[in-house]
Amino acid sequence: MDTINETNFTFLNQKSVYKGKVREVYNINDELLVMIASDRLSAFDVILPRQIPFKGQILNQIATKMMNDTADIVPNWLIANPDENVAIGHLCEPFKVEMVIRGYVSGHAAREYKAGKRVLCGVPMPEGLKENDKFPSPLITPSTKADNGEHDEDISREDILAKGIVSEEDYIVLENYTRALFKRGTEIAAKRGLILVDTKYEFGKTKDGKIVLIDEIHTPDSSRYFYAEGYQERQDKGESQKQLSKEFVRQWLIENGFQGKEGQQIPEMTDAKILEISNRYIELYEQITGENFVKANTNNVLNRIEKNVTSFLADKN
């Protein structure tokens, strides 16, 4: 079976291409963006050496469904999905911050909390919490949007405004949209027996100045989920939570001596490990959407994508 490591297409009216950690974005005539979800896997801001079958399709289809399910409360960039791995939408000027929102003391927040820190991105965290406890109310903990290959950095609301990264008027909109999306995402997850623990949202401005949601939303790459059943019992016993997110990849890397730091070696990714990761992504897709995952035909997958995108763009002209 073919996986997508990278693409090198030349589409009609293509002006440029940006290659991110897992997505490749083609600018069409400064009007449309063609976003292709590859099967690359990144952790600790490092692209791992092997691809995960169907990961790109899973991320693209979850993001599409979640954008459609939140379009009534927050406008988004999406126009069409001509292929299982492709989203096409309006070209936007992205804000240079990621709006991270956390409902629980997990992941990065837990690591900071364990290190004794009680302020994250300028937001105080209460005393007396343990890992995976719920915060009294969700915390917005933004990060800078790193250039390719660089690490995202925590940043406070005050610094974002002081440095002029986002205007106060726009930032208020970003905060309101972030809280509304997290509330809706929490409700969707609850219907599927899941807890939306934390996530990130990215926003941009259209040519007419409208702020819209861009990139992925509520996927296992951008979000962390716990199973609701047994959550409190596991907390009471001090046990690890059963979760669906990319955190299991990070934990495996940490256990094998890799956190993206200089001099560290990425552990061997065996065929069995690749299959395990792929199955975990499929599990999340089916759990969060309530639908069976249908694997796309991956024979000549690059030809399939090129044909579908080319046909869509021809119809637009």
- Backbone phi, psi, residue 270, to 5°: -75, 165
List the beta bridge partners of residue 35.
25, 87
- Backbone phi, psi, residue 181, to 5°: -65, -40
Q: How many residues comprise the chain?
A: 317
For residue 246, which amino acid is it?
K
What is the percent of the chain with per-residue pLDDT over 70, rounded to a whole number?
98
Give the Cα separation of 120 and 139 in Å (integer).
Answer: 9
How confident is the model at residue 283, as a pLDDT?
A: 86
pTM value is 0.87
Q: Is the pLDDT of residue 45 over 90?
A: no
What's the N-to-C CA distance of the chain in angstroms? 34
Contacts of 284 (CB under 8 A, 6+ apart): 58, 62, 220, 225, 244, 245
Architecture of the domain whose range is 94-245:
2-Layer Sandwich (3.30)
What is the percent of the chain with per-residue pLDDT over 90, rounded to a whole number?
84
For residue 2, which amino acid is it?
D
Contacts of 137 (CB under 8 A, 6+ apart): none
How confident is the model at residue 146, as a pLDDT?
A: 63
How confident is the model at residue 278, as a pLDDT?
A: 93
How confident is the model at residue 222, as a pLDDT?
A: 87
Mean pLDDT of the chain: 93
Place 148 in a pLDDT band, splitting at 50, 70 and 90: low
Dihedral-angle region of residue 180 (phi above 0 means left; psi in -120 to 50 means alpha; beta otherwise):
alpha
Instruction: Give me the DSSP letters along 32-97.
Output: EEEEEE-S--EETTEE-SS--TTHHHHHHHHHHHHHHHHTTTS-B-EEEEEETTEEEEE--EE-SE
Tokens matching residue 229: 């059943």
206 touches 92 (CB < 8 A): yes
